[in-house]
Amino acid sequence: MTQKIYEALRWASSFLQERQRDENAGELLLQHILKMKRSELLANVRESLTEQQQHAFVEMVSRHGEGVPIQHMIGEEQFYGRDFIVNEEVLIPRPETEELVWHALEDIHQHFAKKELTLADIGTGSGAIAVTMKLERPELAVYATDLSEKALHTAKQNSEALGADISFFQGDLLAPFIEKEIKLDVVLSNPPYIPLADRKELSTVVIDHEPEMALFGGEDGLDIYRRLCRQLPDVLHPKALVGFEIGAGQGEAVAALLQGAFPQAAVSVKNDINGKDRMVFAKI
């Protein structure tokens, strides 16, 4: 016997709560199956599901209970108001990264007099930062790099689907720009920053389903920042902006690395909406 929508949602909430998963995930999964917006779903809670819909819902909720991310089942995640394709080859875009983009847009406006700027997103993953920056500021010339060929394929899919004209390079951090002698005005990056010791504390949703290459930043989580700070002086114009997403508690250490690379720069640590230090910017 099939359930009404409200009954299915109640079951999913209870099932996921028992397994310490997001109890609201059922709503997102049912929206996907029924191809409804949230407002439509809530307006139709007394409608019955078909057998096929109920079977699909039970299967998806069960898989999320086992740790499969909702985004991988749906195949997308929202970022800055746009839908991005996601899969196991890329990090699922998160709200903290939206804040990095927002601050970057503000700082670009304040720091530069000229409009024609060259920006690079290093370790682009799904392409969320690069695509969003290009669509929010179409006059930017935007590059995106990643070491992973599969991640770049996903980023290219997103840039094409959303109509963002971006130049992609496969390569290690800033190496493609050093090799091609390309100079940059703005560098943004959300690099791997989780210390290896924190592996055991990560949810199975993350550790079993997201690419390790995009998660871990060495013993203290700062390896990639060190390498970027060594490379940045070789690629930046004299007037430039650098913005990094960081792990909570890494603000002082990453700020010190940037200040060491650019002694004259104005370096600032910015907190996210929850009051945690999650971004570091350097105005050079």
Integer CA distances (angstroms), 221 to 39, 122, 154, in order: 41, 17, 25
Phi, psi (deg, nearest 5) at residue 86: -135, 155
34-40, long-range: CB within 8 Å, 24+ apart, which pairs? 34/5
Distance between CA atoms of residues 254 and 268, nearest Å: 10
Q: Annotated binding residue at 146?
A: yes
Q: Annotated binding residue at 225?
A: no
Angle between helices 128-136 and 95-111 (to 10 degrees): 40
Q: Annotated binding residue at 93?
A: no
CB proximity list for 255: less than 8 A, separation 6 or greater: 267, 268, 269, 280
Q: Annotated binding residue at 260?
A: no
Q: Annotated binding residue at 124?
A: yes
Q: Annotated binding residue at 165?
A: no
CB-CB contact of 232 with 261 (8 Å): yes
Q: Annotated binding residue at 271?
A: no
Alpha-helical runs (H) found in 112-173? 128-136, 149-162
Q: Annotated binding residue at 192?
A: yes
Q: Annotated binding residue at 243?
A: no
Q: Annotated binding residue at 6?
A: no
Annotated binding residues for S-adenosyl-L-methionine: 123-127, 146, 190
Annotated binding residues: 123-127, 146, 190-193
Annotated binding residues for substrate: 190-193
